[in-house]
Amino acid sequence: MSKTVELIIDGKSYTFPVVEGTENEFAIDISDLRDKTGYITLDVGYKNTGATKSAITFLDGDKGVLHYRGYPIEELAERSSFLEVAYLLIFGELPTKEQFTKWESDITRRTMVHEDIKKILDGFPSTSHPMGVLSSLFCAQTAFYPESLNPNRPADGVYLSIIRSLGKMPTFAAWAYKHAVGHPVNYPDNKLDYCSRFLKMMFALPGQDYEVNPVIANALDKLLILHADHEQNCSTSTVRIVGSSKASIYSSISAGINALWGPLHGGANQEVIVMLENIRKDGGNIDKWIAKAKDKNDPFRLMGFGHRVYKNFDPRARIIKQAADNVLKDLGVHDPVLEIAQKLEEIALSDPYFVERKLYPNVDFYSGIIYRALGIPEDMFTVMFAMGRLPGWIAQWLEMRNNNEPIGRPRQIFSGKVTRPYVPIQNR
């Protein structure tokens, strides 16, 4: 017999079914709570609310486990490639050789962007943050591909939007950077693989040869895999909720890019480096900064620490920490902030404040150090996160669409003034 729970309100009993996930997680299905009882639930920040059933990513925050479609993140980061992981997330299975060849070629053929995109880019002041530019360029695809606005598009039309999104994202990202530094943009070199192509668009200068360093391209590929999906986080929920109104895939993902930008979400990777640099300039007094993070009257938080879901080591942080060490060694880079980060982690992990609250380094703690070693400037860090998260957003948007989920529309408990008569201005 399937499990149920009983809720008693004013002595009256109501029964609700329990839903069990394939990894033995449990949820109380309250979809008819209001109809049955007149009550709603209150869960600010959705800390206990399952917004959907999803078959894409599994995460056990207490054990520090992360799987994409059943495959452990450690194995994928070690053995797969970003485009293969993108296929896995979006279509549910690893591709065969033939499927992968077609997938890679479909994406590679969509790396060029319309020349008029440059006019939009030119409209931005060079002081614009590249995340704002990226989300605008991404959304501008609705203008170049107006058929994407049709909510009842056939599957092959949706597929076209998917390969266009993956193909053009690195071009938009590199162009946002080139615009910020005032350099001419580079066109995609389709003889190269996904990450090498992006690096060449970022760093090649007119009249100079540019050879992609495979250590850098491989490290970038691994970072993109680690960021590719993370179930119902802030930006992904944004993509699903915007998409649930039947807005286009481009506008839904553009909204996700904006949600990711905030310093409590993807913007944390930039903030971590700013914080580590501040600690370095301040003489490396780590105890002082730990005390600031613990002081409830000080708004400072240890950036790159803590997570809504992980109450154990973020498995991505473990992999990235090791990768940061390797990349810096391979490239012969000495970055003093790596030592500060390692000391900070050591001290925080033995401090009762962090231990009691189960605050561990998250994915953003070491990623900025690698990006910096790869030559990527600070305000592009969150853009790199967005490039990595794109397949996850696509997969989640598609799942929401294929499940025909209803429009997302939370309720509220009203806490404002009760009904009162209008007073004309001359009487106020």
Q: List the catalytic residues.
A: 307, 364
Helix axes 363-373, 381-402, angle to 10 degrees: 130
User: Closer CB to ligand CMC, residue 69 or residue 389?
Assistant: 389
Q: How far is the CB of 126 from ligand CMC (least distance, A)?
A: 28
Distances (CA, A) of 395 to 34, 235, 381: 31, 13, 23
Residue 126 identity (one-letter amino acid): S
CA angle at 268 for the pair 263 and 270, rounded to the nearest 5°: 105
238 binds ligand CMC (CB under 6 A): no
Using CB under 6 A, pick the residue from 73, 174, 302, 341 that binds ligand CMC: 302
Q: Is 364 in the site for ligand CMC (CB under 6 A)?
A: yes
323-329: long-range contacts, CB 8 A cutoff, minimum separation 24:
323/219, 323/222, 323/223, 323/366, 323/370, 324/366, 324/367, 324/369, 324/370, 324/373, 327/215, 327/216, 327/219, 327/370, 327/373, 327/374, 328/369, 328/370, 328/373
Minimum Å gap between C-beta 159 and ligand CMC is 28
Residue count, binding to ligand CMC (CB under 6 A):
20
Measured CA to CA in angstroms, residue 331 lies from 215, 220, 324, 378, 389 at distances of 8, 13, 11, 19, 26
Residue 389 makes contact with ligand CMC by CB under 6 A: no
Please pick, from the candidates 81, 142, 186, 233, the single residue that binds ligand CMC as defined by CB under 6 A.
233
Q: Do the beta carbons of residue 202 and residue 177 sit within 8 Å?
A: yes
For residue 264, the minimal CB distance to ligand CMC (Å) is 4
Least separation in angstroms between CB 46 and ligand CMC: 10
> Interface with ligand CMC includes 361 (CB under 6 A)?
no
Write the DSSP string, 148-207. Answer: GG-TT--HHHHHHHHHHHHHHHHHHHHHHHHHHHTPPP----TTS-HHHHHHHHHH--TT
Binding-site member from 76, 85, 201, 268 for ligand CMC (CB under 6 A): 268
Which residue is at the shortest CB distance from ligand CMC? 306
Largest CA distance in the chain: 80
* Contact status: 226 vs ligand CMC (CB under 6 A): no
- CA 229-234-240 angle, to 5 degrees, is 75
Q: How far is the CB of 293 from ligand CMC (least distance, A)?
A: 4
Among the listed ranges 86-94, 237-245, 296-304, 396-404, the one in contact with ligand CMC (CB under 6 A) is 296-304
* 265 counts as binding ligand CMC under rule CB under 6 A: yes
Establish if 363 lies at the interface with ligand CMC (CB under 6 A): yes
Please report how close the Cβ of residue 246 comes to ligand CMC at its closest, in angstroms.
27
**Could you say whether residue 139 binds ligand CMC (CB under 6 A)?**
no
Q: By CB under 6 A, tell whether 357 contacts ligand CMC.
A: yes
Q: Using CB under 6 A, which of 170, 256, 266, 315 touches ligand CMC?
A: 266
Cβ 413 to ligand CMC shortest distance, Å: 20
Q: Which two tokens stand for residue 222?
A: 């691994």
CB 380 within 8 A of CB 173: yes
Contacts (CB under 6 A) with ligand CMC, residues 303-322: 303-308
CB nearer to ligand CMC: pick between 344 and 394: 344
Please identify which residue in 230, 240, 321, 372 interacts with ligand CMC, judged by CB under 6 A. Answer: 230
Range in contact with ligand CMC (rule: CB under 6 A) among 67-75, 132-140, 199-207, 354-362: 354-362
Q: If phi over 0 gives left and psi between -120 and 50 gives alpha, with beta otherwise, what is residue 283?
A: left
Q: What is the DSSP letter of 45?
A: G
For residue 68, the surrounding DSSP H or E stretch is: strand 65-68
Q: Contact residues for ligand CMC (CB under 6 A)?
A: 230, 233, 264-266, 268, 293, 301-308, 357, 359, 362-364
